[in-house]
Amino acid sequence: MRAVTVSDGEIVVAQRADPKPGAGEVLVKVRAAGLNGADMMQRRGLYPAPPGSPADIPGLELAGEVAELGERSERFALGARVMGIVGGGGQAELAVVHERQLMPVPERLSWEQAGGLPEVFTTAHDALFTQAQLRSGERLLVHGAAGGVGLAAIQLARAAGASVVATVRNRALRAEVASIGAEAIAVDGFERNGPFDVILELVGAPNFDANMKALAERGRICVIGVGAGGKAELNLLALMGKRARIHGSTLRSRALEEKALAARLLEREVLPLIASGQVSVHVSASYPLQEAGAAYERFAAGGKLGKIVLTM
């Protein structure tokens, strides 16, 4: 099979041996795979794949057709349209995935949309509802809202009855983010728009001082991105005074049981919204596998609205 590989920090499309599914696993003929910030970090040598995932093939989400069933794999039939998160190896023509991490692809989704859905919607849903326990009527602030996770978070929060304010650094993208249902604002001075019950932090350390000023009493900050910096000073007295909570999260290193639970919650609570058209997957651009290098450069350049996706 052909696969995107990381070699000395460079993105190279190379030949790799076809993987074989084990017990409870399926072999997926990949049709599309999204790019994520974690792939950019892995390229830089900062985010290695967890044990059991290909060490040099990036890709945390994919969509495709079931090509082969491993022993005791019963959830999907051959040829079924599936999508899901993986620990790595998604950016290849073939990938092995445990059947419990996979979800059916709603009929209305293209392959590009399906390939860009699992990681960002699982991340957003898990952060907002499982961890931060966002409720109807609360106010949410999303930092870095023009990316895939940010757009997913805005839509899911609105569907749940929350109001959303979104920081968008690129002025040209604010109107489009606003059309999805958020009040899109500049980053500078965002704390003046508070207080917020939940803050979804996708940028990192530079926002933290203002985050604490913007947080409501009993507010929650969920950190799921630190691209702009991972170290910040924290005024513990302010945290105590507001009886606030700060927590962080990643998906990639979680155990199978946790990933399976997140997938079932997405099937039950998000896929019906996708199927009805109430929530959508925004694809900024798609590239064929052989142009993976260009796709990575486009992601790194920033200024995109939604997902960058590779197609096979």
The token duo for 251 is: 């998906």
Contact 132, 126 (CB under 8 A): no
Other beta carbons less than 10 A from residue 236's beta carbon: 7
In the chain, the amino acid numbered 238 is A
Query: What burial class does residue 79 get, using C-beta atoms within 10 Å of its C-beta: 0-12 exposed, 13-18 middle, 19+ buried?
Result: exposed
CA distance to 8, 21, 27, 74, 289, per residue, from 71 (Å): 37, 8, 11, 9, 30
47 an active-site residue? yes
Contact 91, 43 (CB under 8 A): no
Give the span between the Cα atoms of 233 and 208, in whole angstroms.
8
Rounded to 5°, the CA angle 164-165-170 comes to 130
Q: In what order do the strands lie in the sheet with 163-167?
A: 183-185, 163-167, 139-142, 196-201, 215-223, 245-248
Contact 70, 97 (CB under 8 A): no
Give the span between the Cα atoms of 252 and 244, in whole angstroms.
27
| Catalytic residue (choose from 31, 33, 35, 47) | 47
How many CA atoms lie less than 13 Å away from 149 in the CB half-sphere?
27
- Residue 235: closest CA among 206, 203, 213: 213
Question: Which residues does the annotation mark as catalytic?
Answer: 47
